[in-house]
Amino acid sequence: MTIVGFPRIGENRELKKALESYWASKSTKEDLLSVAKELRAKHWSYQNNLDFVSVNDFSLYDNMLDLAYMLGAVPARFKGLEGLELYFGMARGTKDATACEMTKWFNTNYHYVVPELSSKDTYKVDISKIAAEYKEALSLGYKPKISLIGLFTFIGLSKIEGCACVYENVKKAYIELVGELAKLDSKVVIEFNEPIFVKGKNDLYVHIKEVYDEIADLGVKAIVTTYFEHSTEATSILLDTKIEGLGLDFLYGSKNLESLEAIAKSGKKLYAGVIDGRNIWAADIETKLKLLKHISSIVPKGNITLSTSCSLLHVPFSKEQEVKMDKEILSWLSFAREKIGELELLEAAFRDEGNKKVLKALEQNKKLNLDRRNSSKIHDKGVQERLASLTVKEREGTFKERIKVQRKELGYPDLATTTIGSFPQTPELRKLRLDYKKGLIDNITYETGIKDYITECVKFQEDIGLDVLVHGEPERNDMVEYFGEQMKGFVFSQNGWVQSYGSRCVKPPIIYGDVSRPKAMTVEWAKFAQSLSKKIVKGMLTGPVTILNWSFVRDDLARKSVCKQLSLCIADEIDDLQKAGIKIIQVDEAAFKEGYPLRAENIKEYETWALECFKISTSVARKETQIHTHMCYSEFNDIIKTIEAMDADVISIETARSGNELLKIFKSTGYANEVGPGVYDIHSPRIPSVDEMYKQILALLEVLPKEQLWINPDCGLKTRKWEEVKPSLVNMIEAVKKARG
């Protein structure tokens, strides 16, 4: 048995702290490296009973970046740098060079650094990182298995400039790298991570056989592992190569079962991904055993190695520190360390059926799963009945009819100005919320603090002349957590951190049961903010699909059903808001696109229910209530029909970094609803000039008419400082005035 990888951020986020202290020049390189070394040793110690410990799954920042660095695939703008300066320079930028882009790792919330490959590059292989970690593991008495991103995934996820020779050059360097690794030991085991294969065929498919044969010829034991979906097309090619074995995800890619006969015939080893690496629920060992029995009825038992469905990177470290969580719910969970325990139990049950101790553990596991299924904490009859009788409605009136009423009622001008919702989260604000949470201050003090912020925020927006105002979201720590904390069916861990990128971690809410909204979640703050101004203040909500996509979701109910429950809560909130006199309501769907399935054939289904959910939420809005939505993307080419069908009166999107090129899809498809393309990038501290935004607005006007356009920043302002926000928005208003003129 084995795992694909272990989380590296540390039980108490030691790596995060060490990195940030190093970046702030508060500690030395040696300090950082020694923390890293300790973490590796600690994490390997948990893998002691496995066939291997995973080496090179550790990274100071990201594994894609590691590989780029090891291959010497360095963008020209970083030339001259070396060592950690180069490595972190590529990740975070230097004063002279912008950082490499970052993007989501398949359909997870982990972000990798995107390598840039150009035909002008020359490569220089350096395996010292892996060699050192390999030796470390050996010296501690472990049997290492090297985790390495496969060539096809590496190239497939890179930004490529130039001709086909890029592939040839990178391949040459990659083979050289594996050749160097082969010299580390007599039979080095390397697990090549090739999740790109789950996306189906691409241009490079024709090279799979040649590359993996060449790799096997170098004398390494090569395992090629895919995850997050099935990889049927690649599997059939890989079985025809000289590799030792194949790792497949049987949980998120059950179609992989169809490859079993061929695997058996090939005689290859099978690394069977059966323990969930992406979710946090305790395994139902009995079901897993059934799955394994099926697998082993086709592939010989001796050829099967039990594994996780993917790296455990995507789950928190351990539930040991969750002392505050409801004990019953806690017993249903399993984080990375506990998952290794499950693997051990499953292995024992699989190989040693009659063992008394194992039988007892199986009984316990069975009881646990039965208790969970029957627990009154999970089931809410009211919610279930409401869901059963639910029909998805359209909004009242066509967009044309609605917008006529709204324009009259709301009275905003063409090129109306607004923001996306949040204003700067100051240290004082964070302290206020924390003090309140800890019980250090009373309700009144807290409320006064929040109201003061809202008052100032509204006043500022009035002063500079924004058309549609917001309250600024001072009461929210996070756009999902804020709502999750107020709904039934959610639980929050204290220490359930998962790496998002580099040193950044998120603590996803856990949806364990039927979801409902005991009372209004945002109405009081919205009402207060509206009472301060004659101008319209937008109500601000997070959409159901985004709440779902940024949470750990229960595995005993279909995702779409969970999402529908969330949709009803948001619908009720919209209704309460409009009854309270809020005339514009924004439903953020920042993570709508993130939930898209990896395989084209599954997209339709997702789109159907995600769209339905948005509609369940927003169709309660009256004709004259204007619904906005916001998405942190610029690329809408492939989803424009769905966006159109969502039928939000106004959508604000991120275009600041991509110019108006990507906006053209809204024109070419005849998208009729109003659009607010971001006119400046809030992800950077830079203050955009009037002129630059004026030009940006003119560029937008070339694509869409002024009646259809809103002017706003490209995302919420919470990560920025007031010193940046104030002049930026003043300039934005100035630019709009100039454009109107």
Work out how close the CB of 585 gets to ligand GLN at its nearest, in angstroms, rounded to a whole number. 12
Answer for which of 679, 715, 729, 735 binds Zn ion (CB under 5 A) is 715
Name which of 504, 591, 654, 506 is nearest 92 in CA terms. Answer: 504
Q: Report the alpha-carbon distance of residue 526 to residue 577 in Å, rounded.
A: 8
Residue 90, both tokens: 């590529």
Among ligand GLN, Zn ion, none, the one that 540 touches (CB under a kind-dependent 5 to 8 A) is: ligand GLN
Work out how close the CB of 526 gets to ligand GLN at its nearest, in angstroms, rounded to a whole number. 13
Answer for which of 540, 566, 585, 711 binds ligand GLN (CB under 6 A) is 540
538 binds ligand GLN (CB under 6 A): no
632 binds Zn ion (CB under 5 A): yes
Query: Which span sits near ligand GLN by CB under 6 A: 20-28, 71-79, 633-641, 711-719?
Result: 711-719
Work out how close the CB of 654 gets to Zn ion at its nearest, in angstroms, rounded to a whole number. 6
Residue 619, both tokens: 């169709």
Under a CB-based contact definition with an 8 Å cutoff, are residues 5 and 340 in contact? no
- Looking at residue 99, the DSSP 8-state letter turns out to be P
How many residues bind ligand GLN (CB under 6 A)? The answer is 13
Answer for which of 194, 588, 644, 649 binds ligand GLN (CB under 6 A) is 588
Q: Which of the residues 464 through 483 are near ligand GLN (CB under 6 A)?
A: 473, 479
Work out how close the CB of 682 gets to Zn ion at its nearest, in angstroms, rounded to a whole number. 8
Query: Which span sits near ligand GLN by CB under 6 A: 374-382, 512-520, 666-674, 713-721?
Result: 713-721
Residue whose structure tokens are 């603590």: 507
Q: Closest CB to ligand GLN among 134 and 633?
A: 633
Work out how close the CB of 623 gets to ligand GLN at its nearest, in angstroms, rounded to a whole number. 24
- String of contacts with Zn ion for each residue 665-704, x by CB under 5 A: ----------------------------------------
Helix (H, G, I), strand (E, B) or coil at 521: coil
Query: Which span sits near ligand GLN by CB under 6 A: 72-80, 331-339, 415-423, 551-559?
Result: 415-423
421 binds ligand GLN (CB under 6 A): yes
First to last CA, the chain: 70
Work out how close the CB of 436 gets to ligand GLN at its nearest, in angstroms, rounded to a whole number. 20
Answer for which of 112, 716, 724, 735 binds ligand GLN (CB under 6 A) is 716
Q: Report the alpha-carbon distance of residue 704 to residue 702 in Å, rounded.
A: 6
Query: Which span sits near ligand GLN by CB under 6 A: 166-174, 189-197, 406-414, 710-718?
Result: 710-718
Work out how close the CB of 420 gets to ligand GLN at its nearest, in angstroms, rounded to a whole number. 4
Answer for which of 632, 643, 693, 733 binds ligand GLN (CB under 6 A) is 632
715 binds ligand GLN (CB under 6 A): yes
400: buried, middle or exposed (CB in 10 Å: 19+, 13-18, 0-12)?
exposed
Residue 134, both tokens: 């390999």
Q: Report the alpha-carbon distance of residue 63 to residue 157 in Å, rounded.
A: 12
Neighbours of 448 (CB within 10 A): 13
DSSP annotation string for 2-36: --S----S-TT-HHHHHHHHHHTTSS-HHHHHHHH
**Three state DSSP letters for 315-368:** CCCCHHHCCCCCHHHHHCECCHHHHHHHHHHHHHHHHCCCCHHHHHHHHHHHHH
Name which of 215, 188, 623, 175 is nearest 410 in CA terms. Answer: 623
Work out how close the CB of 474 gets to ligand GLN at its nearest, in angstroms, rounded to a whole number. 11
683 catalytic residue (yes or no):
yes
How many residues bind Zn ion (CB under 5 A)? The answer is 2
Q: Closest CB to ligand GLN among 107 and 669?
A: 107
Residue from 111, 314, 471, 683 carrying the catalytic annotation? 683
Q: Closest CB to ligand GLN among 566 and 739?
A: 566
Neighbours of 86 (CB within 10 A): 16
Give CA separation, 159 vs 67, 68, 162, 451, in Å.
Answer: 14, 12, 10, 46
Q: Report the alpha-carbon distance of residue 189 to residue 147 in Å, rounded.
A: 9
Catalytic residues: 683
Q: Under the rule (CB under 6 A), what is the footprint of ligand GLN?
A: 420-422, 473, 479, 540, 588, 590, 630, 632, 715-716, 718
Q: Under the rule (CB under 5 A), what is the footprint of Zn ion?
A: 632, 715
